[in-house]
Structure 1
Amino acid sequence: MARVLRFQLPYAALAVFYGVDRSTITRAVHEIRPLLAARRFAVPGEVGLRLQTMADVFAYASAQGVELRVDGTEVRVRPPKAGRPGRRAFVSGETRQNTKKVTDITDGQGRTLWAGAIRPGHMNDQTAVNTEGIGDLCERHPMVKAKAKADAGYRDLATRKQQSSEKSACTTRELRGTSGLGRASGRLVKPERSAVTRGLGQQLLRRLRARTDVPGVRAHLSDDHLPDRPTAQQLRDATAAVESERVGKADELSGLLLAVDRDGDPTLLAETGQLLLRASPRLWLMLDVATRGAWWQAPRWSAVAVQRLVQGEPPLLGLTVAAFHPDGHVREAAVARLAERDESLVLPALTLRASDWVPQVRDRARAALEHRLAEPSGAGLVAAAAVALALRERREGRWLANRIETVFRDGPVELLTAALAAPDWRTRRAAHLTALAAGRLDLAQMLHAAEHDGDLPTRIRCAEAAVRTAVTAGTAGLVRPLLSSGTAVVRAEAVHGLARTGDIAPAIVALADRNPIVRAVAQAALRRAGSDPVEEYRRLVMTSRPEPGAIAGLGETGTADDAKLIPSWLDHPQSRGRAEAVRALRRLGAADPNTLSGMLADPSGAVTRQVTTALRPWASRLDPQRLRELLTASNPHHIRVAAYRLLHERDTWTRLLIDLELVADPTPSMRNRARSDIATWLTYEAATTHSMPQGHTADALNKQLRDAEDVLGPDRIRLLRFHFGLKPPSTA
């Protein structure tokens, strides 16, 4: 992973370096990268302290008196495809190249504390300072010393920082933490309700009344295109369809919600409210977009809804859908009305508007949420956290996520307990990681999350913390239940922790684990204890029916002399055992093409993939007629793919001949594979292929070109003939 992140080596080069397939490197990188990201930024000299957000950096600097240096760095990237929106946004004004800009924050010694706030290269530093909240953090932490580099935007940041420090000297109010929520006597201090949430405000009222009081406007509006009065079952079906990610169903659900609001049936309004209370964050985010478009299909009802906001008392559902209106003034009015309500359905709508792109709407929603987060209930916090954490990556979405994490870190234990058991994985992950960093979880809670939580990063981080805590406390035996976990990294942590205390029995058992990570940890534990794992593997392989992991382990640790123990298990009753036997022979350099070629017809795709990888160096020695028989449409798909790959390895003209034979194959995956390979050869390899087909090969290619003309088209056939050195067919 270090070679990928630090040196940017291609995956194919790493695959050759480690002797594995490229897909293995891809899978490993995709599994490890989110784990590294979840660990956050380590603080130099502070064991166990990690910083996740820019707010954490400023809070750490304020508490420890650390001087910060802020700068922007450009990283070259590939631009979006031609014709896509936003392509020019990545062109840097400084380098005239496609870049992304990253904000780096270091301490006074130049050691990195945080890097993030990524934005397109065209965005200047001043805009980044305003949109990423850097200036706000400087104002909230006036005692932090920050130095800016030569960039104009960051120099302006330093000026704002100085002004903020001067202003803070004249006030007695102290900003605490990163959330704007004060602390006093160990409890959260509830701020006063802001005046903007008490009503709509005179200016906004005048704007909305000006729209509704103009006579005759509604008569000129086009008719609404909303569905007839829906039933409760229609609403349930539409909600389930959106939750199951069916395309276009969010538009249908938004239209049904507007129709329910229009009809005003109390029973249906209550049923709809219950459906939305149980909705996932994904559904809320999709409704935010879809309902904004649905309002354009109901201009008459939109006018009525605006008038109702000003003069009447709309139901809670009406306020919720009004908060998704395309007009910012209507959204602001809806937020002001929602801020006066105490129902649970209010929180998701306010959370969405707290990241609104219009500052006035955003400020009203944030003021209302500040009041609720001062003394939140467990259910309310979970409801707000689920949507807020899903919005974290939006430009204005980090504000509420940071405040909720502050509640997890400093709030009452009851709120943290509710978040740890939340149904939403983002909420559970944020609660566990924040509580681990703050030391608020005991060993029993860590072990429970490591065993039972449905989120992989949460399980891994809790397992790491549980093992570390148990080893430090001298109670390493309590982590033994993790040895039976279904997560490989959790099992590996338990094996490693127990081995550190001198208990290598679990490591000996884990030598035959099905996962290579666990086996590698067990092997290292035995070596540290003075044993050689290969001796254990030899003993395990010589049993009556060895585990597949034991066969794989012998291939990982054995020598060429151990290859004689493997061939007897090429007919292992388990497909995994046969695949690991083939892999072990390849690793030990003892793969016999005469023996392995008979396994190309194995009923397991995992076995044929390993056989194909092992036979590629000897592809030219294999019987082409036998491979063509395996390529016929009567064979299973994985056998056909294995034969196709080996025929490709023979030579260029065999490869193209097979592609031409398969361009009209009845199986979509095979014909698409063949057509794609022909296009790849023409684009990247044809110009550097200097040999020409001869004799029977040229005749076979000529025949296949005639047969494939209807599929590939005359232009591509003419280009192939040119590169093959074949004459065009006679027109006589």
Structure 2
Amino acid sequence: MRVAVDDVAGAGRWEALDHLVEVLLEVDAASDEVVARSALTLVAGVAGLVAWLDGHARQAPWYGPDREPASRRVGARFSVATSGPVAVALASMHRDGRIRERAVAAMVARPCPEVMPFLVLRAGDWVRPVRDRARAGLALLLADDPGRYLPAVLPMALRLDARRRGGFAVTQIRAALMSAPAQVWCGLLGSGGHRQRRFVFDTVVAQGWLRLADYVTCAETDLDVGIRVRAAEAACREAVWTRRPGVLRRLARSVRAEVRVVALTGLVRVGQDGDVAAYLDDDAPLVRAVARDAARRVGIDAREHYRTTVCVGEPALGAIVGLAETGSAADTPLLRPLLSHPQAKVRAQAVRGLRLLDAVVAQEVLPLLRDPSPAVVREVTTALRPLTGALPPGLPWELLADGRVELRRAGYRLLRGRGVDVELRAALMLTLDPNPRLAERGKADVSRLARDGARTTWRRTPPPELSVTAAQHAELAALAARAAAALGEDTSRMLTTWLAHSRPDA
């Protein structure tokens, strides 16, 4: 069962959906209630799979190994009184509205959390009798036992909210949350996906059920950035209204930049500009911007502060970039000595600062292109991309063949924008890279180039011109042949056609 679900989740092909239906029918034939519920839990656990099955049931026939339509077997096997949860779930997606209506009646008569996503689907059914019965049953179940059914209903309802007739379930969920005990929504806040938790959090905040301490805890510890920001805003808003600068200072020490920004804005609102100005060297750009605005009001020259700070033995990283944000080309002599700093983070920020000041000299940063730190290599590559004309011609190709992943990535980036022939050659080489992510990047770029190069009747712009010599064309053809297996049949065919049309003697 898990293999069939994984196949659909990975590919989503009609054949995989057909196979999943066959496996579900086999599970139903076993008449094991525990196994049946586990199977439905697996199906509901994959985002969108229930909706895919529902669409598949209407748009394509279900065929089993014996070529008998599976939908016919589902309808024949389904019984309102005796069918198990798998048969009921499959029957709820049947093309015949009368069978769907009977399946909804069975779900409501013998409810269990595992079939709730299928009931939510039918609450938006296009046939009114099916829809009305599903909605009435869903409303009653959520009102009677929200703790049991809300976790099963919520993910599917949020997924279908944008559909026509899909908002009813969300409205019922919101009503059930408002009347549910505190332990119910507390449990939903601590589990489920980001969208589900954000929905519950927003509902709870709108009702005013959380205290200031709860907001502070969420802002400091929650894993979802959306909830952290909402919690920080609520906490800081209440702290400003009630004049509690201690709460604002606590949140301003958060490790999360988005929380620090909100807290510092709150400190500005209560007149604590001196406290805010202490964050001039923060790592986050928006935090530094808020701090510089506060520093101006208390008479601190942010530029002079940065000039002084970058000259110490171990300058703050935020001060280096801060100088680039507020300084000018006259400040580059303060940054250039940092290119040889023993700390890799300082070297990387120095390169970034010179780039922001538009003061990069290729020969100065070129030795850092093979720096032991990947972060430094990444910053140097970004700084050198506008200056590729000043680099040795063969350097990017040497990097592309290097043993270090970050150097191969740097070489590929430095070859971008040098012409279609160079980009195609580099992308074909990268397609064969041992690193999966680099190989995927090369494959995507080859696919794009091959698609653009293919001659089509609907094209409004001319295809890219591949101007190569006979030797270069032969090299590209050899690389394309080596990469054919990795590129796939369609891309390889388009590439071969493009190369054939671009042969120099053609």
Same fold (TM over 0.5): yes
The AA in structure 1 aligned to 2:314 is R
1:326-345 alignment, distance < 5 Å: 326-345=95-114
1:471 paired residue among 234, 240, 245: 240
Residue equivalent to 2:231? 462
Alpha-carbon RMSD across the aligned residues, in angstroms, is 3.9
1:2-401 superposed matches below 5 A: 235=1, 241=6, 245=10, 252-265=19-32, 269-274=33-38, 276-277=40-41, 279-280=44-45, 282=47, 283-289=49-55, 296-297=63-64, 299=68, 306=75, 309=78, 312-401=81-170
Go from structure 1 to structure 2 and tell me whether the alpha carbon gap of 1:275 and 1:533 turns closer, same or farther (over 3 Å shift). farther
Relative distance call for 1:470 and 1:250 in structure 2 (3 A) is farther
Distance 1:520 1:338 in 2: 57
- In 2, the alpha carbon distance for the partners of 1:661 and 1:296 equals 45
- AA aligned opposite 1:271: V
Kept in 2: contact 1:560–1:588 (CA 8 A): yes
Structure 2 Cα separation of the partners of residues 372 and 397 of structure 1: 18
Aligned-pair distance for 1:391? 1.6
Identity, % of aligned pairs? 35
Normalised TM-score (structure 1): 0.56
CA contact (8 A) 1:661 1:704 kept: no
Question: Which residue identity is paired with 2:370?
Answer: A
Q: Does 1:581 align with 2:350?
A: yes
Higher strand share: 1
Distance 2:69 2:496 in 1: 53
Q: How big is each residue's C-alpha offset from its partner over 1:433-486, in whole Å with a ceiling of 9 and x where there is no partner? A: 123234333222222322333332222112111111111111232244434545
Distance 1:277 1:648 in 2: 47
Deviation digits for residues 232-265 of structure 1, max 9, x if unmatched? xxx45656x3797565666544433221212213
**Residue 639 of structure 1, aligned match among 404, 407, 425:** 407
1:554 alignment counterpart: 323
Larger CA deviation: 476-485 vs 351-360: 476-485
Q: Is 1:599 the counterpart of 2:344 in the alignment?
A: no
Residue 627 (structure 1) shift? 4.6
1:365–1:661 Cα change, 3 Å: closer
- Matches of 2:278 and 2:8, distance apart in 1: 43
The alpha-carbon deviation at position 570 of structure 1 amounts to 1.6
Whether the aligned pair in 2 keeps the contact of 1:255 and 1:291 (CA below 8 Å) is no
**Cα 1:530/1:406, change in 2 over 3 Å:** farther
Give 2:211's aligned residue: 442
8 A contact 1:254–1:291 mirrored in 2: no
Tell me what 1:499 maps to.
268
Determine whether 1:705 maps to 2:473.
Answer: yes
d(CA) in 2 for partners of 1:684, 1:713: 18
Letter paired with 2:22: G
Q: 1:625 to 1:325 in 2, by over 3 A?
A: closer
SS at match of 1:474: coil
Q: Deviations over 1:265-313 (max 9, x none)?
A: 3xxx223325645753625445545677785438588666545655742
614 and 521 in structure 1: CA distance in 2 versus 1, 3 angstrom threshold: same
- State the AA in 2 paired with 1:330: I
Q: Establish whether residue 429 from structure 1 lines up as the match of residue 198 from structure 2.
A: yes
| 1:544 shift after superposition | 2.0
| Residues 561 and 428 of structure 1, relative CA distance in 2, 3 Å threshold | same
The SS at the match of 2:161 is: coil
Q: Cα 1:685–1:476, aligned 2, differ >3 Å: closer, same or farther?
A: farther
Q: Deviations over 1:68-124 (max 9, x none)?
A: xxxxxxxxxxxxxxxxxxxxxxxxxxxxxxxxxxxxxxxxxxxxxxxxxxxxxxxxx
**Structure 2 segments unaligned to the other structure (5+ residues):** 434-438, 455-460, 481-494
1:678/1:254 Cα in 2 relative to 1: closer, same or farther (>3 Å)?
Answer: closer
Cα offset, 1:628, TM superposition: 4.7
User: Does the aligned pair in 1 maintain the 2:80–2:105 contact within 8 Å?
Assistant: no
Say if 1:323 and 1:334, in contact at 8 Å, map to a contact too: yes
By how many angstroms is 1:567 displaced?
1.7
The structure with more helix, counted as a fraction of residues: 2
Which residue of 1 is the match for residue 389 of structure 2?
620
How many Å separate the matches in 2 of 1:719 and 1:274?
57
Q: 1:679 to 1:570 in 2, by over 3 A?
A: farther
Displacement of 1:394 in angstroms is 2.1
For CA contacts below 8 A with separation 6 or more, give which structure has more relative contact order.
Answer: 1
Partner deviation per Cα, 1:632-667 (whole Å, 9 max, x = no partner): x23545434544554666xx6xx4564575476354
Deviations 1:307-327 (A, max 9, x none): 565574223343233223333
Change (3 A) 1:529 1:244: farther
Number of aligned residues: 470
Please give the alpha-carbon distance, in whole angstroms, between the structure 1 residues aligned to 2:412 and 2:31.
63
2:340 is paired with a residue whose SS is coil
Distance 2:227 2:276 in 1: 24
Distance 1:590 1:312, change over 3 A: closer
Distance, in Å, in 2 between the alignment partners of 1:286 and 1:523 is: 52
Residues 415 and 423, structure 2, Cα contact 8 Å, conserved in 1 = no
Q: How far apart, CA to CA, are the structure 2 residues paired with 1:572 and 1:540?
A: 15
Query: Do 2:119 and 2:134's aligned partners in 1 also have CA atoms closer than 8 Å?
Result: yes
Alpha carbons 1:309, 1:333 under 8 Å: kept? no
Q: CA deviation at 1:558?
A: 2.3
CA distance in 2, matches of 1:436, 1:580: 40
Does structure 2 conserve the Cα–Cα contact (< 8 Å) formed by 1:663 and 1:675?
no
Higher radius of gyration, 1 or 2: 1
Question: Normalized against structure 2, the TM-score is what?
Answer: 0.78
Relative to structure 1, is the Cα distance of residues 311 and 626 closer, same or farther in structure 2, using a 3 angstrom cutoff?
closer
